[in-house]
Amino acid sequence: MELRQLKYFLKAKELNNFTEAAKELYITQSTLSQQIKQLEIELDTLLFNRVGKRVTLTEAGALFAQYAQQSIKKSEDGKSMLSDLNNLQTGTLTIGVTLGLQRLFSKAVLEFATRYPHIRIEAVFGASHRLVKDLENMEMDMVLVFNESLDNPNYIYHPLFDSPLAMVSSVHSPYSERKSITLEEMEKLPLLVATKGFSTDHVISQAFQLQGLKPTFHMEINDIPTALELVKSGNWYSILVQTSVLDKDLVTIPIVDIKKKRTAMLIRMQDTYQKKAMRAFQEVLEEYRDEGG
Amino acid sequence: MELRQLKYFLKAKELNNFTEAAKELYITQSTLSQQIKQLEIELDTLLFNRVGKRVTLTEAGALFAQYAQQSIKKSEDGKSMLSDLNNLQTGTLTIGVTLGLQRLFSKAVLEFATRYPHIRIEAVFGASHRLVKDLENMEMDMVLVFNESLDNPNYIYHPLFDSPLAMVSSVHSPYSERKSITLEEMEKLPLLVATKGFSTDHVISQAFQLQGLKPTFHMEINDIPTALELVKSGNWYSILVQTSVLDKDLVTIPIVDIKKKRTAMLIRMQDTYQKKAMRAFQEVLEEYRDEGG
DNA sequence: ATTTTGTAATCGGTTTTAACGATTGATGAT
DNA sequence: ATCATCAATCGTTAAAACCGATTACAAAAT
């Protein structure tokens, strides 16, 4: 058994397809088949069911994957730890960020990069649940998202700040002077959702639904800056976490019916080596905590 | 980084000597040197100091060893777990046993082997502290010893029974009818120590010392059955945990001054996969618990 | 029912690399 | 000063990882 084989196995498990997995591993399908078979022989257990032209993980495979994952993680933790000994002169930090927190993230990253110019940053934007899944697969060091439930004991949660949801409009819109707005008023407005598929989107739809309202979302855009550009035109309104917005041409108007605030938080895995770079990034982040991204 | 290299590294670390380590690994010193170097290059860190003709672990090496150990352990745990899935039809159980518990052990092993004939048993007899060290190095699944302090949170302790220390004599000796004896009386007797270097030995010497007594141990034997044979001759007396002795030609006489009882216990590591065979053995052991070995 | 497609297994050959044996060089012991 | 011990290094060999092409199979499409 070698770490190489464990890595091959996990990739095959992830994709349920040897050909694809081989591609991602930069080896041939032939090699992958052989290495998996070799592993199976050593373990004296089939890891995949070969049913017809497809492979599916066996129960044994699923159980074994846990251990394989951890074995690999420990070896990599060891490596990270050593690279930390070299005083943050090297290493990579992989951070998942949800769209609404990109402002906070970019500010923090800017500062972090000046302090630790030798650390490579990999940022992955995506939906919270996806990011958290990647975190669990050890593909990320930490994620920056809005309030996932904080009850999973395998994670460590660091709340950063709370921020309410607000309607975003152009400063030139008829609503720009309003101090607050109701969902009912908003129902008739041309709305633009900038967080489709994200948890914030879910919270918004639920709030409307709760009041029996059926707003029409005229547009969906998976990028907040672009969405904000469009809102500036005055043709649309959007709903976002208030702190995601800071622009002289835009105003945020509190929505009275949505009480629930979104909590921005940093999440990382329990029980794994915490790279120094992780702690350093967290510190930087906390300095910006009250500016709310 | 491969598990093979991690294993090589740990062996080299253990022996602080590449040549010896290579021998135990059944590879040449040349290969070991190369593989260690390769690992060092990948980690970009020296694991050993090469000072003159000897190697010593660097601080980085010591830190890394922890992770290497765990990585290997996880992979092996995965394998064990799979072999357990095959319903205890296979696998090896390595158990460390201290001398005084060999009667309990052999009875338990007998029963265990009948129940699970396909499990290979490896028994290692030795001094408790040595066994516990091997346990920590993952070279053993569990150890059967007398009361080590049970404060190490990395271990799980299963007390089995308490047993007092007693003098052992032939049934034909002038003391054979005595209900108890004092250390002072024993000081003048020809004594035979059967547990030299073991923790029980330590407890005995301390008890004498505490009363300012200086007994003469006429003989040291590292094997209890042999020691008992000699005691049967009537020429010597010995001191042992009472339950270690059960023989129609021998009697055990309680020693009034030694209050401290020895607790037999099964110890295994925390946080590692517990083989089914381990649990099974433990169950067998508990059935014999009250017979006190 | 037949063909096509998508996939894994297998085979023979190539490349890489782990492993070897012998040698060198350095150092501590005699 | 000499010897013994050990790790590093060098050139070679054997093992194994890997490749490309082919085969085999089953599912999907025709």
Query: Distance between CA A216 and CA A218 in Å, rounded?
Result: 6
CB contact under 8 A, B68 and A75: yes
Q: Going residue by residue through chain A (293 aa), what tens digit of pLDDT does each one get?
A: 999 999 999 999 988 999 999 999 999 999 999 999 999 999 999 999 887 778 888 888 989 999 999 999 999 999 999 988 877 777 788 898 888 888 888 888 888 888 988 888 888 888 888 888 888 878 889 999 987 677 788 888 999 998 899 999 999 999 989 999 999 999 888 888 877 667 788 888 888 888 888 887 777 777 787 778 878 888 889 999 988 888 889 999 999 988 888 899 999 988 788 888 899 999 999 988 766 54
The residue among A110 and B64 whose pLDDT is bigger is: B64
Q: Please report which confidence band the pLDDT of residue B290 belongs to, taking 50, 70 and 90 as the band edges.
A: low
Query: B257 and B118 in contact (C-beta within 8 Å)?
Result: no
Residue B78 lies in a domain: no
Per-residue pLDDT tens digits for A65-105: 999 999 999 999 999 999 888 777 777 888 988 888 888 88
Same domain, B267 and B155: yes
**Count of structural domains within chain B:** 3
Flag whether pLDDT at B292 surpasses 60: no
Same domain, A191 and A257: yes
Q: Which residue has the tokens 């609503």?
A: A175
Same domain, B169 and B39: no
Same domain, A115 and A148: yes
Segments forming the whole domain that contains residue A34: 3-68
DSSP string, B32-89: HHHHHHHHHHHHTS-SEEEETTEEEE-HHHHHHHHHHHHHHHHHHHHHHHHHHHTTTS
CA of A191 to C1' of C28 (A): 83
Nearest protein residue to nucleotide C6 (CA to C1' distance) is A53
Does residue A117 lie within 7 Å of nucleic acid chain D, judged by its CB?
no
Query: B148 and B128 in contact (C-beta within 8 Å)?
Result: yes
Residue B186 lies in a domain: yes
State whether the Cα torsion A238-A242-A243-A248 is positive or negative.
positive
DSSP string, B209-222: HHTT----EEEE-S
Average pLDDT (B61-83) is 93
Query: Distance between CA A272 and CA A154 in Å, rounded?
Result: 10
Nucleotides of C under 7 A from a protein CB: 6-12, 18-22, 25-28
Same domain, B64 and B21: yes
Same domain, B191 and B49: no
Which pLDDT score, from 0 to 100, does residue A47 have?
A: 92
Same domain, B11 and B134: no
Q: Which of A162, A147, A126, A163 is nearest to A245 (CA)?
A: A163
Same domain, A39 and A155: no
CB contact under 8 A, B78 and A64: yes
Residue A76 lies in a domain: no
Highest mean pLDDT among A47-56, A193-202, B81-90, B249-258: B249-258
Provide the strand spans (E) within chain B.
48-51, 54-57, 92-97, 120-125, 142-146, 155-163, 165-170, 191-193, 217-220, 237-241, 250-254, 262-269
CB contact under 8 A, A68 and B45: no
Per-residue pLDDT tens digits for B91-103: 788 899 888 888 8
Average pLDDT (B99-120) is 86
Q: How many CB atoms lie under 10 A from the CB of residue B164? A: 15
Residue B226 lies in a domain: yes
Q: Residues of A numbered 259-288 whose beta carbons fall under 8 angstroms of chain B's beta carbons: which are they?
A: 273
Beta-strand pair B250-254/B165-170: antiparallel
CB contact under 8 A, B43 and A77: no
Which pLDDT score, from 0 to 100, does residue B293 have?
A: 44
In chain B, the percentage of residues whose pLDDT exceeds 90 is 39
> What are residue A55's DSSP bridge partners?
A50
Cα distances (angstroms) measured from residue B102 to each of A181, A235, B106, B219, B293: 81, 86, 6, 21, 8
Same domain, B153 and B93: yes
Which pLDDT score, from 0 to 100, does residue B246 have?
A: 86
| Side chain identity at residue A109, one-letter code | V
B2 nearest nucleotide via C1' and CA:
C18
Does residue B54 lie within 7 Å of nucleic acid chain D, judged by its CB?
yes
> What are residue A56's DSSP bridge partners?
A49
Average pLDDT (B29-56) is 90
Q: Please report which confidence band the pLDDT of residue B143 belongs to, taking 50, 70 and 90 as the band edges.
A: very high
| SS3 of residue B26 by DSSP | coil
CB contact under 8 A, A66 and B75: no
Residue A204 lies in a domain: yes
Output the domain CATH number for residue A228: 3.40.190.290
Residue B269 lies in a domain: yes
Q: How many CB atoms lie under 10 A from the CB of residue A232? A: 18
Q: Hey, is the C-beta of A246 within 8 angstroms of any chain B C-beta?
A: no
Nucleotides of D under 7 A from a protein CB: 5-11, 17-21, 24-27
Residue B80 lies in a domain: no
| SS3 of residue B168 by DSSP | strand
Domain end (from A35, A68, A101): A68
Same domain, A134 and A275: yes
Same domain, A141 and A212: no
Per-residue pLDDT tens digits for B178-189: 999 999 999 888
Query: A142 and A278 in contact (C-beta within 8 Å)?
Result: yes
Average pLDDT (B198-223) is 82
Residue B51 lies in a domain: yes
Which pLDDT score, from 0 to 100, does residue B291 have?
A: 60
Same domain, A9 and A27: yes
Domain end (from B69, B97, B125): B69
Output the domain CATH number for residue A44: 1.10.10.10
